Each structure stands twice: as C-alpha cells, then as structure tokens.
Structure 1
C-alpha cells in the first residue's frame, strides 16, 4: 500500500467554545488501488482516565501507560475522520461531533476545506456508529443537515438501537444524553438514510464488517482493491495503549465491555496476520498504521513514525 505522509494545516479556521483556536489537520493519505483514503481531523476529546482505567490491574496498567507517557487522570484522544475519494464518489465515514459535544472537537469542516472538500461535495456519509463524536456533526447549529447532497448510510442494527424510544431508559445515566442526541439527529436525516448489514458491499470496494461491542451495531469497513486493503476501524480498537497491549481487558468505553474485548482481539489478530492497514478513529498521528504482534499482545505502528 502506498502511504503518503503529509501534514496539511488549515490554520486557525475555527474557534472553540473555550476561546482557544482550533487547528485543522489532515495527517496521512493512503492509496488502496485507485481509491484515495485521507485521515482528516475533527480535533480531540478530553476524557477522564477512569473511563478507561478503573478496575484494571494497576501494576500491569502502569507498565503499559508509563512508556507511552499516558496520564491516568485524563486522556485526550484525537478524532480521525476518514475521507475516501474514488472516481465520482466522495465518501465520508462519520460526521464528527459538530459544535455541540466538546470545545476541543468539531474541526471537521475546516479540515475538509484544507483538502479541498466542501460539505456539499460529499456523495455518501457512512456511519460506524451513533456516539456523539461520530454522529452529532450531521446537523448544523440550526438543526439543518450539513451534508446536503450525501446519501446517509448506517447499519440496520445500529439504527434500530438509537431510534428505539426505550434506549434512553436502558443505556445508563452517563450515556442518556447520547441516546437523546442520537435520536433527534437520526430523525432529522431519516429521509436521507439507507441501511446495510454485516458483509454487505456498501459501495464498490467497501465491505461492512460487524464489530459489535463498542455499541450494539458498531460497524467497521474494509476498503479493498485486490491485495491492497485498509480497515476503517471506527472505535472497535479505541486507543493505542491498553487496547493493543491487553485487548482481552474489558473497556469502560464500550457499551458491552465483554463483547468489545472479543471483537477487539479478533480484529487485531486479523489485521496483524493479513497485514491490513488500520485507520482508527482515536489512534495517534492521524490514525493510519499497522498492527504488529508484541509479546503476548500487539502494538500500533503509526505510518507517521
């Protein structure tokens, strides 16, 4: 696979709610046959470390986090949105968080502008899942659709979950706002939405791959041309530290932690054995890299290293 390492800055095109400037970043592009895949930044999240680290074996956890200079108190994962250009298609995987989730996120439109893409240019908007940092950017500040010319596409299982009125009562207090926000946004774009299932060819060269656990219908996407392949992983592999070193550990970031661990271990084995490039939503340096075995686990090797 041909990886083009590049750093495109849109400068200080947006201002976060905190008053700090946002830097929009398109870090790395890859060629899969004649398809161009580009990682574009939606900024980053700021999350309590407890979401990831509570309940884990503390001594072993330290041995994983310390060499990577990861704080136990707070993590700031990047948000890497995948853009694919091929022939007359301009495909965006996930819509980012928009301005309504976190001040540190919401830079997607500026980042797309940095690579010469306007929201109206997007022909297909394909969702990995319905969490705020992946879905809430689908509407603007006036609750109008942002990607006006795009066919919106989501896995049927994921759609059914977030549009079920009972989800808000079963998802737990911490995520209740996720359910309310998802239902409102999905209702607004329902007439633009089409659905797929595991194993479907969503678009030519793009296959849906069920990676349930992070959410009930989370989907990753295998982009393939002959022997060239790249996995748009979404949040199925949600970080570059414990998810790789100990994929069997349950993660509080997953709605079904046990299923998430099973899915993660299966994906890492597939990616390492078949040498498939990974583009992870919350992985460092643009999120494009390869998975290698390390000791009893794995490691993420960024293409920007």
Structure 2
C-alpha cells in the first residue's frame, strides 16, 4: 500500500523528519521523549482486512477519490499494528498487548519487537488496555493460557470491562463479532483478580490520563501522556487509519461498533488534536506516530509540522 508524500513513512527521509520533532530512529518505529517519560512505538505485525470492513457504510461515489488519492485497494487493506511501550522511572508499561498467535497470521510479533529493545514480558509492570478487540487483547496469554506478562498489573476502563464481561454481549454483538466477545471474556477472566478499573479523566499512572473515546467499542479509551507543556495522545482505534478517518471523520465506518458515536468522537478529537498540535500515536497509523493538521477539506495525518 503506497502512502502519500505527507505521511510519516519508513526510510531515511521519514526518520530524519521524525528526529526533528522528537521521534528518533532505532528498533522501534518511533520514539517520543516527554521529560522523564520515553514512549516507543513497536510493531505487532499487521492485519489483512477486506476493504468493506471499513468502507461498506460510506458513500461509494465520494469514497472513490479518497481511495485513489491514498493509492489504496478498495478490496484489501493491510493496516499495521503498533503497540506503545512506555518507560518512566521503574515502570515499564504496555498500552495493549497485540494479537498473539491466534488472530491473524501476519500479526503477533510483539515479543520480537520488545526483545529488540531488551524488554522481556517479565519486565512489564503495567498493562493498560484501550479496548478489548482481538488485535489489542489476544496477546495477553502464553501457550499455557497463563498471563504472559506475569509480573504486571492490569487496567481497563470500567465501561469496557462491563461490556465484554456481560454474558449477553455474545448474543447482541452480531455474528461477525461473536468470536470477539468469546475471546475477550475468556482472556479477561484470567486477569480479573489483578485488574483495576478507571473512568474518563482519571490519572491512571503518573503523567497518564484516561480520555473517553467511545464508539469504536462501548468503552474505548485513549490516553494523554503529559510532561509539563508537552503531551502525546495514545489513540488506540478511535482514529483507526490515516486515510478516510482523517479525510472524512464524520462518515460512519464499518470497523466501529457504534458507528454514529464513533464518528462524533473522531470529529471532536481531531479538532482538539489539530488545534493543540499534540503528537499522536495510533495503533493502525503508518509508523505509528505523527501530527494532525486541519485543512479546508478535512484533516491529514503527517509526520511533519
């Protein structure tokens, strides 16, 4: 999938541009340093999705020029999966844990990426979930169905936990996502004795505040990591791609569980991020990190300011 010139791309030019505003080359896609907080964006591989998974609810005649502009296939999309690793003091924090081996054949590479940074599963002190979709949660358990991050404490939004642990969810989520509900409940049950819950606006760790970004899932959370006047927003999937989610955030997307609410969330968040020029880390954004710019015809994702 070719990317537009303004995207934060791999390679020497992209890395040099990234270094100019706080991203540094290395084993991770990008590194953001905020005071004593270091954030590394590492890969869990990628997904292969039918284009209709995102595009089906959209007006197809208006969608076509966006697909052409970003040189996308309307049939198959291959979004990256980017996990955020935060190190601050004695804390080693993962925001989401990737797919593990059971969801997608070209995903589940998180442990290899962490090894390149000399981080082992036993080093992780905290795991924070944006939401409980498979590509964010199913890497939780090892081959023996024990928690892989054996020394970690876990955190998830209260609304998200309540939704996935509701026994009725498997029957109401729809056939296409029923396996998501079964898989989420099985994994979350394994950590229910060591998980804490939070709500919108709470500081869940020093310098890390939860931001409600509901819609993609009923309790989806983003996280604002701040040191003084500098901040970065870990988006999860509330802004789920670098193309149509920016060009037409008001459109309903097939990837969202509550499509209308998710669109409202995207528009409001993009407005904030563009106005504040806050760095963003997105789970499915190319190279993981960049900025939001607002133009006369929508928004763009860029690694340049």
* TM-score, shorter chain, exceeding 0.5: yes
188, 194, 197: which one pairs with 2:196?
194
Alpha-carbon distance in 1 for matches of 2:191, 2:57: 39
Greater than 6 Å deviation, 4+ residue runs:
none
SS in 2 for 1:236: coil
Match of 1:232 in 2: 234
* Maintained 8 Å contact 1:2/1:32: no
Alpha-carbon distance in 2 for matches of 1:55, 1:159: 28
* Maintained 8 Å contact 1:2/1:31: no
* Maintained 8 Å contact 2:57/2:254: no
* Larger RCO, structure (CA 8 Å, separation 6 or more): 2
Match of 1:182 in 2: 184
SS in 1 for 2:83: strand
Structure number with higher strand proportion: 1
- Compared CA separation, residues 262 and 183, structure 1 to 2 (3 A): same
Superposed displacement of residue 294, structure 1 = 2.3
152, 155, 166: which one pairs with 1:164?
166
Give unpaired runs (5+ residues) of structure 1. 9-25
Superposed displacement of residue 155, structure 1 = 0.5
Superposed displacement of residue 2, structure 1 = 5.0
Matches within 5 A, 1:14-29: 26-29=28-31
Match of 1:279 in 2: 281
Alpha-carbon distance in 2 for matches of 1:130, 1:56: 25
Alpha-carbon distance in 2 for matches of 1:266, 1:58: 24
Report the aligned-residue RMSD.
Answer: 1.2
Superposed displacement of residue 59, structure 1 = 2.7
* Maintained 8 Å contact 1:272/1:292: yes
Deviates more, 1:28-37 or 1:56-65: 56-65
Give the structure-2-normalised TM-score. 0.92
Match of 1:257 in 2: 259
Superposed displacement of residue 63, structure 1 = 1.3
Alpha-carbon distance in 1 for matches of 2:208, 2:271: 20
Alpha-carbon distance in 1 for matches of 2:264, 2:297: 16
Match of 1:296 in 2: 297
Match of 1:14 in 2: none
242, 252, 255: which one pairs with 2:244?
242
Alpha-carbon distance in 2 for matches of 1:88, 1:78: 29
Match of 1:32 in 2: 34
* Maintained 8 Å contact 2:293/2:302: yes
Give the structure-1-normalised TM-score. 0.92
Matches within 5 A, 1:1-305: 2-8=21-27, 26-285=28-287, 287-302=288-303
Alpha-carbon distance in 1 for matches of 2:153, 2:23: 28
Superposed displacement of residue 192, structure 1 = 1.3
SS in 2 for 1:273: helix
Superposed displacement of residue 61, structure 1 = 1.0
Alpha-carbon distance in 1 for matches of 2:146, 2:223: 27
Deviations 1:153-178 (A, max 9, x none): 00010001001100000000000000
Superposed displacement of residue 5, structure 1 = 2.9
Give unpaired runs (5+ residues) of structure 2. 1-19
Alpha-carbon distance in 2 for matches of 1:90, 1:102: 26
Alpha-carbon distance in 2 for matches of 1:179, 1:101: 13
Alpha-carbon distance in 2 for matches of 1:205, 1:132: 27
Size of the aligned set, in residue pairs, is 286
Alpha-carbon distance in 2 for matches of 1:38, 1:82: 6
